[in-house]
Amino acid sequence: MKRYSGVLMPLSSLPSNYGIGTMGKCAYDFIDFLSAAGQKYWQLLPLGPTSYGDSPYASFSTYAGNPYYIDLDLLIKDKLLKKTDLEGIEWGGDPESVDYGAIYESRFKVLRLAYERGRKPFAEEFAAFRASKLWLENYALYMAVKARFGMVSWTEWPDEGIRLHRPDSVAQYRLTLSDEVEFYEFVQFLFFRQWEALRAYAHKKGIQFIGDIPIYVALDSADVWSEPHFFLLDENNVPTVVAGCPPDAFTEDGQLWGNPIYHWERMRNDGYGWWIRRVDGAGQLYDVIRIDHFRGFESYWAVPYGDETARNGQWMPGPGMSLVGVLSSWFRGLRFIAEDLGYMTDAVKNLVRDSGFPGMRVLQFAFDAHGDSDYLPHQCDYDSVCYIGTHDNDTIMGWLNTTGKEDKKFAKKYMHITEDEGWCWGLIRAGMSTGSQLFVIQMQDLLQLPGSCRMNTPGNPYGNWRWRMLPGSADKKLAKKLREYTETYRRLNDFEK
C-alpha cells in the first residue's frame, strides 16, 4: 500500500516582499523545496478572502480567492503594475508576522491600478472567466455593496431591499455599482489566473494540494446573503440558532462560533445542490479536501442566537450519509479527509467508517502516562492521516512547555527521544513510522520553532494567523534531512522514483 507525507504550510506564511505570502516566487520556491524533500502534498488553510479577525475559516465567500495572495511581481510582469506603483507602500515591518491592517490599507489601491490597466488588454480572457464562475456575480455585487456601506456586515446594511436580496434591489445595485462590481470580478480573475499557473507547476513537480472546507460558512458572507433560504434564519434573515461546541473539560462555557446553521431539510430536498456546487468549487483549487468539523454531519451543537456562551445549546441531528454519500459518489475523482477530532461518539465513528474517508490522528493528543489513546503511533492504521499537530495546536516546542512531567516522560520513553535527534525530529520520525497512509508535518515543527509561532489558539480571537517563515529557512539542507526520513519510512513521492 502506498504511503506518503506532506507539509502543512499556510500560503500566508510564505516569505515575500509584500507583507504576506503570495502565489509568486515564494510559492514556486516552496514547491521546489517539497519536491526536493520527497514530499507528495502541500496542505493549505482555506484560501478565501478574510474578514474581521483575519481567520481563513471566516471568509466572505466559500468560492472566492483572497486578494492578498495575488503576487504583485507577477502583475508587474503582466504589465498591470509598474515598480514605481509600489514605492513607499507600507506592508508591515515584521518579516515574521503578517500586519493585516497595513495590507488592507494598501493592497486594494494597488489592485485597482491593475484593474484599470488590465480590463481592456485581458478583456477576452476576463469574459471567459466571468462566464465560467456562476458564483462570481453574487460575490462581486456583495463586495461592492459592502464597500458602499463602509464594509459593515450585510445584516447591518441600511437598505432593506438589498439586505434581503430582493431581485429588484439586486438589479438596481448591480447597475449603479457596475464599475465596482467589475473590479471585484477582475480581482478574482487575477487570483485564479495565478492559482491555476501555480497548481500546474505543482503538478509538474509531482506535488498535490490538500485544502480545507470549513463545515460552516460565515454569517457575513455572500453565501448566506445570496441564498438565505438554505440557512436557519427568520423572516428578516436573522439567525435563529448558531454553531458552536458544548462545554467540556477545557472550556466551561463551550465555544460559541456564531456561524449560521444549515437548513438541512431544504438542502436535502434540493438534492444537496448547494454542497455539490461548494465542493466543485473547492475541487478547482485542491486535489484533496479536508472537511473541517466532520462530526457536525452526524450531529451539531445549536445555540440560540443572541446567547453569550454556548452553554444553552443542544445536539441536533445532521444529514449523515445522505449528504456524505452524495459527495463521495458525485466527486469520484476527489479525495477527502474527515477531520474527526473533538467530541466523538459511536455514531460519529460509524459515520467516518461508512464514509470511507480517512480520519485524523494527532500525536500531541496521544501521550497520556496513565491511560490509552487512539492517537498513539501504534494505533494509527492505514485509514488515517497522522499529524503531530494542526493549525489549531501548539508547535512541538510550545507543546513541550505545557505538557505534564509524567506525560512527557512517557512520550520520551515511547518514542526513544534522544538528545542528538531532539523532540521535533523524534516526533517526525514517530509520525513517519506510523501505519497511516499520509503523515503531515507543520512547517514550524520542521524549523523547530517555539510556541510563539503557532498559527491559531482556539478561543482566543486576537493575534492569530500571523506567523511567517523567514526567507531562506526552507533550504537544501532541510530538504535533504526531511527526504532521508521520508525515504527511510517508505513515504517517498512516487514521482521521484
Mean pLDDT of 241-262: 90
Q: Is residue 242 part of a domain?
A: yes
Q: Which helix (H) or strand (E) holds 384?
A: strand 384-387
Q: Kindly report the CA angle at 467 between 463 and 470, in degrees rounded to 5?
A: 150
What amino acid is encoded at 41 in this protein? Y
pLDDT of residue 420: 95
Cα separation, 434 vs 379, in Å, equals 8
pLDDT-derived band of residue 496, with 50, 70 and 90 as boundaries?
low
Asked if residue 317 has pLDDT above 80, the reply is yes
Averaged pLDDT score across all residues of the chain: 95
Asked if residue 36 has pLDDT above 70, the reply is yes
3-state SS, residue 317: strand
Asked if residue 51 has pLDDT above 90, the reply is no
Mean pLDDT of 414-431: 97
Asked if residue 93 has pLDDT above 60, the reply is yes
Q: Rounded to two decimals, what is the model's pTM?
A: 0.96
Q: Is residue 475 part of a domain?
A: no
Mean pLDDT of 291-301: 95
pLDDT-derived band of residue 497, with 50, 70 and 90 as boundaries?
very low
| Residues 31 and 47 sit within 8 Å (Cβ to Cβ) | no
Mean pLDDT of 253-269: 95
Report the percentage of the chain scoring pLDDT > 70. 99
* Domain range for 317: 227-357
pLDDT of residue 495: 75
Q: Is the dihedral of CA 399, 400, 406, 411 positive or negative?
A: positive
Query: How many beta carbons lie within 10 A of that of residue 495, not counting itself?
Result: 15
Catalytic amino acids?
Answer: 292, 339, 392
Q: Is residue 351 part of a domain?
A: yes
pLDDT of residue 276: 98
pLDDT of residue 341: 87
Domain count across the chain: 1
Mean pLDDT of 16-41: 97
pLDDT of residue 205: 97
Residue bearing the bigger pLDDT, 301 or 461: 301
Of the listed ranges 73-77, 115-119, 252-256, 311-315, the one predicted with least confidence: 252-256
| Residues 183 and 115 sit within 8 Å (Cβ to Cβ) | yes
CA-wise closest residue to 201 among 27, 440, 65: 27
CA-wise closest residue to 204 among 428, 418, 378, 28: 28
Q: Is residue 285 part of a domain?
A: yes
pLDDT of residue 459: 77
The CA R_g of the chain, rounded to the nearest whole Å, is 23
Q: Is residue 11 part of a domain?
A: no
Of the listed ranges 157-166, 224-233, 458-467, the one predicted with least confidence: 458-467
Place of cell 486576537: 462
Mean pLDDT of 173-186: 98
| Residues 361 and 379 sit within 8 Å (Cβ to Cβ) | yes
Q: Is residue 347 part of a domain?
A: yes
